[in-house]
C-alpha cells in the first residue's frame, strides 16, 4: 500500500475502530485525566522521509504517562550504561499490574522486574543525572524534545499536580524501593517522585509521538537528518522491553495480535513503530481493564493486519 492509499485508508480505519471507545473508560484515578473526551480517537503515521498521514482527533495534546518510561530508560542508559541501569532494575516481564508491588517483596533481591512497570520507572528516574529534581527534569525535557525532532515539549503542570496529589500507591512503591536499597541512602524519595511525575506529565501530540517513534524505528538514528541521537544498542534494549512489557500485562496478547513494538500510557496514548518504516502515535482516552486504549489497540491491530506489519 503506497502513501496515497494509506492516506485514504486511515480515516476509514479510525472510524471503524472508534466504536470500541464504548468498551473502555477514561482514567479517573488521576483527576485531570478524567477530563479527556472518552470517544476521541486519532492516529498519526510518519514515514522515513517525514511524510505525515493523520486521521481523527490528532491535534490536542495529551500527557505521555507511561510512554515516557521508554525515553527515561534511554537517557538512564546514556548516563549510566547497561551495568549501572540493570543493577537497579531487572530484564523480565512480570505478568502483574503495572503498579503492583507483589514481587518486590516475594522475589530476592527485591528490585523491580523491568523498567516499564511503575517501580522500575521510579528506580530509573533516580538514575538520571542532575544535581536537583529541576535539573533532572530539564535534562529529560531537553532529551525528549531532541527525540521529537526538536519540538519544544513541556510539562503539563495541572496533570503533574493532580498525579502527585493522588499517587499513594506510587509513593508506597518508592518507599519500598528505598527500604530495599534500590534507591540509595543519599536519594530523597520525594525528589525522585517529583522527577517521575514530571516526566509522566509531559505533553505531546500524536505527530510528536510519531516523530519519537520514528527515531526508534531507525534504531536511534534520525532518518530525516542522518544523525545518531541514541546509541543503537540502547534502542534495541528499549524495543525489546516494549515487546515484552510495553502494553502492561496485555503485552503478550498485543505481540500476538499486532506484532510490533509499542508502549501505552493511561492517558490513552500509544507509541508504536514499524522497524525501518514508520513511527506511529495514537490517542484514545477510553481504557480497557489492563490500562490500554480499547479503540487504539483495535486500530493498531487493524493496520498491522492490513499492512502486514508484524515483525515475527
Q: In 3D, which of 285, 286, 289, 238 has the Cα closest to residue 262? A: 238
Place of cell 489497540: 297
Place of cell 506489519: 309
Tell me the mean pLDDT in the region 76-105: 79
Q: Say yes or no to pLDDT of 238 above 90.
A: yes
Give the list of residues 6+ apart from residue 208 with CB closer than 8 angstroms, or none.
148, 149, 151, 153, 281
pLDDT for res 184: 86
Q: In 3D, which of 41, 62, 60, 35 has the Cα closest to residue 203? A: 62
Confidence of residue 1 (pLDDT cuts 50, 70, 90): confident
Establish if 312 belongs to a structural domain. no
pLDDT for res 312: 82
pLDDT for res 2: 80
Q: Say yes or no to pLDDT of 107 above 80.
A: no
Establish if 264 belongs to a structural domain. yes
The chain-wide mean pLDDT, for the chain, equals 93
pLDDT for res 100: 52
Establish if 157 belongs to a structural domain. yes
Residues 34 and 160 reside in one and the same domain: no
Residues 220 and 299 reside in one and the same domain: yes
Q: Say yes or no to pLDDT of 105 above 80.
A: no
| Structural domain harbouring 72 | 66-200
Residues 196 and 101 reside in one and the same domain: yes
Q: What is the 3-state secondary structure (H, E, C) of the chain?
A: CCHHHHHHHHHHHHHHHHHHHHHCEECCCCHHHHHCCCCCCEEEEEECCCCEEEEECCCCCEECHHHHHHHHHHHHHHHHHHHHHHCCCCCCCCCCCCCCCHHHHHCCCCCCCCCCCHHHHHHHHCCCCCCCHHHHHHHHHHHHHHHCCCCCCCECHHHHHHHHHHCHHHHHHHHHHHHCCCCCCCCCHHHHHHHHHHHHCEEECHHHHHHHHHHHHCCCECCCCCCECCCHHHHHHHHHHHHHHCCHHHHHHHHHHCCCCEEECCCCEEEEEECCCEEEEEECCEECCCCCEHHHHHHHHHHHHHHCCCCC
Confidence of residue 181 (pLDDT cuts 50, 70, 90): confident
Top pLDDT among 199 and 310 is at 199
Q: Say yes or no to pLDDT of 142 above 60.
A: yes
Q: Say yes or no to pLDDT of 163 above 60.
A: yes
Distance CA 50, CA 278 (A): 9
Distance CA 9, CA 177 (A): 47
Confidence of residue 66 (pLDDT cuts 50, 70, 90): very high
Residues 221 and 107 reside in one and the same domain: no
pLDDT for res 97: 52
Q: Say yes or no to pLDDT of 45 above 80.
A: yes
Which of the listed residues 180, 200, 220 is the one where a domain comes to its end? 200
pLDDT for res 110: 65
Residues 88 and 190 reside in one and the same domain: yes
Residue 116 near residue 241, CB atoms below 8 Å: yes
Say what percent of the chain tops pLDDT 90. 87
Distance CA 251, CA 239 (A): 13
Residue 5 near residue 11, CB atoms below 8 Å: no
pLDDT for res 10: 97
pLDDT for res 96: 57
* Total of domains in the chain: 2
Which of the listed residues 200, 220, 244 is the one where a domain comes to its end? 200
Determine the length of the chain: 312
pLDDT for res 108: 56
Give the list of residues 6+ apart from residue 69 with CB closer than 8 angstroms, or none.
115, 116, 120, 121, 124, 263
Residues recognised as catalytic:
66, 69, 196, 248, 266
* Phi and psi based region of residue 45 (left: phi greater than 0; alpha: psi -120 to 50; beta: remaining): beta
| φ, ψ (nearest 5 deg) of residue 269 | -80, 150
Tell me the mean pLDDT in the region 120-136: 97
Establish if 261 belongs to a structural domain. yes
Tell me the mean pLDDT in the region 234-240: 98
Question: The domain spanning residue 109 has which CATH number?
Answer: 3.40.710.10
Binding-site entries for substrate: 66, 118, 163, 170, 196, 248, 266
Which of the listed residues 183, 200, 217 is the one where a domain comes to its end? 200
Residues 10 and 111 reside in one and the same domain: no
Amino acid at each position: 500500500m503506497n502513501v496515497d492509499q494509506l492516506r485514504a485508508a486511515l480515516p476509514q480505519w479510525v472510524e471503524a475502530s472508534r466504536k470500541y471507545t464504548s468498551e473502555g473508560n477514561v482514567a479517573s484515578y488521576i483527576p485531570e485525566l478524567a477530563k479527556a473526551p472518552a470517544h476521541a480517537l486519532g492516529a498519526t503515521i510518519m514515514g522515513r522521509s517525514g511524510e505525515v498521514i493523520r486521521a481523527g482527533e490528532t491535534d490536542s495534546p495529551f500527557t505521555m504517562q507511561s510512554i515516557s518510561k521508554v525515553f527515561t530508560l534511554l537517557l538512564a542508559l546514556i548516563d549510566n550504561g547497561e551495568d549501572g541501569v540493570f543493577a537497579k532494575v531487572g530484564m523480565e516481564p512480570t505478568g502483574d499490574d503495572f503498579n503492583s508491588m507483589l514481587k518486590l517483596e516475594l522475589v530476592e533481591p527485591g528490585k523491580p522486574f523491568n523498567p516499564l512497570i511503575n517501580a522500575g520507572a521510579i528506580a530509573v528516574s533516580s538514575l538520571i543525572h542532575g544535581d536537583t529534581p529541576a535539573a533532572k527534569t530539564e535534562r529529560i525535557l531537553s532529551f525528549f524534545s531532541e527525540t521529537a525532532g526538536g519540538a519544544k515539549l513541556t510539562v503539563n503542570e495541572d496533570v503533574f499536580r493532580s498525579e502527585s496529589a493522588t499517587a499513594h500507591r506510587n509513593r508506597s512503591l518508592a518507599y519500598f524501593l528505598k527500604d530495599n536499597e534500590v534507591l540509595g541512602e543519599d536519594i530523597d524519595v520525594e525528589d525522585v517522585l517529583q522527577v517521575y511525575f514530571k516526566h509522566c506529565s509531559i505533553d505531546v501530540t500524536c505527530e510528536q509521538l510519531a516523530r519519537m517513534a520514528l527515531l526508534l524505528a531507525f534504531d536511534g538514528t534520525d532518518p530525516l537528518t542522518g544523525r545518531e541521537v541514541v546509541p543503537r544498542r540502547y534502542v534495541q534494549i528499549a524495543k525489546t522491553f516494549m515487546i515484552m512489557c510495553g502494553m502492561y500485562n496485555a503485552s503478550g496478547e498485543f505481540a500476538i495480535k499486532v506484532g510490533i513494538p509499542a508502549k501505552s500510557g493511561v492517558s490513552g496514548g500509544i507509541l508504536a513503530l514499524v522497524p525501518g518504516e514508520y513511527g506511529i502515535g495514537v490517542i484514545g482516552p477510553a481504557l480497557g481493564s489492563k490500562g490500554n486504549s480499547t479503540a487504539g489497540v483495535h486500530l493498531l491491530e487493524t493496520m498491522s493486519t492490513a499492512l502486514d506489519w508484524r515483525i515475527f
